[in-house]
Amino acid sequence: MSKKTKQNIIALVYDFDGTLSPGNMQEETIFKYYGIDKKIFWAKSQKLVHEKGYEQTLAYLKLLITDPAFKKRPLTKPMLQKLCGQVPYYPGVAEGYFEQLERFMRSVPEVAECGIMLEHYIISSGLKEILDGISIRKYFKKIYACEYDYDHGKPVFPKLVINDTNKTQFLFRINKGKLALSESINQHMPEEERRVPFRNMIYIGDGITDVPSMTVIDKAGGNAIAVYDPCRRVPRKVKTMVAEKRAQHFAPADFRPDSLLVKILHRTLKKIIYSIAYRSSSDRSSDWVQRHW
Ligand SMILES: [Mg+2]
């Protein structure tokens, strides 16, 4: 028997570095705390990739355990959670963006009529311990990022690695409502039973690393927005993404009210809200006809 769901949840899914925050979270927190030169660190990481065949994300996660600075003074969970205060945000992110979107949702009558809810998610190749401590943590239903297993307070092995392509796994977790990593997402689930259909998703990312996620979202009828640093000219990578139609919209990462990005978000949200309301009235009318057959 079909377990048809209301499909009235809208998910906003964000990359983190370069999307909600300028730069790179490891550089802003760990490197500054340890006095590490980012060029040297990333060169070592690339060396592991090119000389030993390491996957990009695993290479940096290995160095954060085995590099001499971390051997001498290992990272700890409490240290990472303390360092999260150093993470900067793009304009508006920590200054009312989430509340403003909630107000916008309340201003559209169909939201209350159809019980539509908005949820926020992060999928990042950065570190979960840092993201769990950020000041905007409370707005997110779930954050997926790289995680270590700790033994006696020291990271011993990465227990979850998130890179460009396996980011898409987490889109399917949100889609099927199977958010816990222990839940398998491989079984078939009919479209009408999925908690958040892709057409109700908006993915926001900043670069080539987001292309696999944007492609999945786009092909499945969802919405992808590419953002770039508002303080810089449009970077070449974004021009390429525009030319290759990797996203439906492009905007500076400015989350303040009346910015281009927020206007695009409002329009996209309205499109999704009206589509949910339209489907809901279509379902109600066919129910009515069946009852009066
Ligand atoms: Mg990014």
**Does residue 152 sit within a domain?**
yes
**Does residue 237 sit within a domain?**
yes
pLDDT the model gives residue 2: 58
What is the C-alpha separation between 281 and 3, in angstroms, rounded? 19
Q: What is the mean pLDDT of residues 266-279?
A: 96
What is the C-alpha separation between 228 and 222, in angstroms, rounded? 20
Confidence of residue 242 (pLDDT cuts 50, 70, 90): confident
**What is the count of structural domains for the chain?**
1
Taking the centre of ligand 1 as the mean of its atom positions, its distance from the CA of residue 226, in whole angstroms, is 10
Taking the centre of ligand 1 as the mean of its atom positions, its distance from the CA of residue 252, in whole angstroms, is 14
Beta strand 249-252 with 140-151 is: unpaired
Taking the centre of ligand 1 as the mean of its atom positions, its distance from the CA of residue 258, in whole angstroms, is 23
Q: What is the mean pLDDT of residues 147-153?
A: 93
**Does residue 44 sit within a domain?**
no
**Does residue 72 sit within a domain?**
no
Q: What contacts 105, CB < 8 A, 6 or more positions away?
A: 111, 116, 118, 269, 273
What is the C-alpha separation between 167 and 146, in angstroms, rounded? 11
Taking the centre of ligand 1 as the mean of its atom positions, its distance from the CA of residue 123, in whole angstroms, is 10
Q: What is the pLDDT of residues 55-74, one digit of tens each?
A: 999 999 999 999 999 999 99
Taking the centre of ligand 1 as the mean of its atom positions, its distance from the CA of residue 16, in whole angstroms, is 6
pLDDT the model gives residue 85: 86
Among 227, 239, 206, 254, residue whose Cα is nearest residue 92? 254
**Does residue 50 sit within a domain?**
no
Taking the centre of ligand 1 as the mean of its atom positions, its distance from the CA of residue 152, in whole angstroms, is 32
**Does residue 64 sit within a domain?**
no
Taking the centre of ligand 1 as the mean of its atom positions, its distance from the CA of residue 19, in whole angstroms, is 6
pLDDT the model gives residue 109: 96
**Does residue 206 sit within a domain?**
yes
Share of the chain above pLDDT 70, in %: 99
Count the helices and strands in the chain (H runs, E runs). 13, 7
**Does residue 77 sit within a domain?**
no
Q: What is the pLDDT of residues 107-142, one digit of tens each?
A: 999 999 999 999 999 999 999 999 999 999 999 999
What is the C-alpha separation between 55 and 191, in angstroms, rounded? 33
β-pair partners for 127: 146
In degrees, rounded to 5, the angle at the alpha carbon of residue 133 between the alpha carbons of residues 128 and 137 is 90
Residue 183's CATH number:
3.40.50.1000
Q: What is the mean pLDDT of residues 271-280?
A: 94
Taking the centre of ligand 1 as the mean of its atom positions, its distance from the CA of residue 141, in whole angstroms, is 20
Structure tokens at 148: 């270590």
The boundaries of the domain holding residue 194 are 9-22+90-291
pLDDT the model gives residue 236: 80
What SS3 class is residue 120?
strand
Taking the centre of ligand 1 as the mean of its atom positions, its distance from the CA of residue 157, in whole angstroms, is 24
pLDDT the model gives residue 6: 86
pLDDT the model gives residue 288: 67
Structure tokens at 215: 């492609």
Range 27-36 burial, b when 16+ CB lie within 10 A, else e: ebbbbeebeb
What is the C-alpha separation between 6 and 179, in angstroms, rounded? 18
What is the C-alpha separation between 107 and 217, in angstroms, rounded? 27
Taking the centre of ligand 1 as the mean of its atom positions, its distance from the CA of residue 179, in whole angstroms, is 22
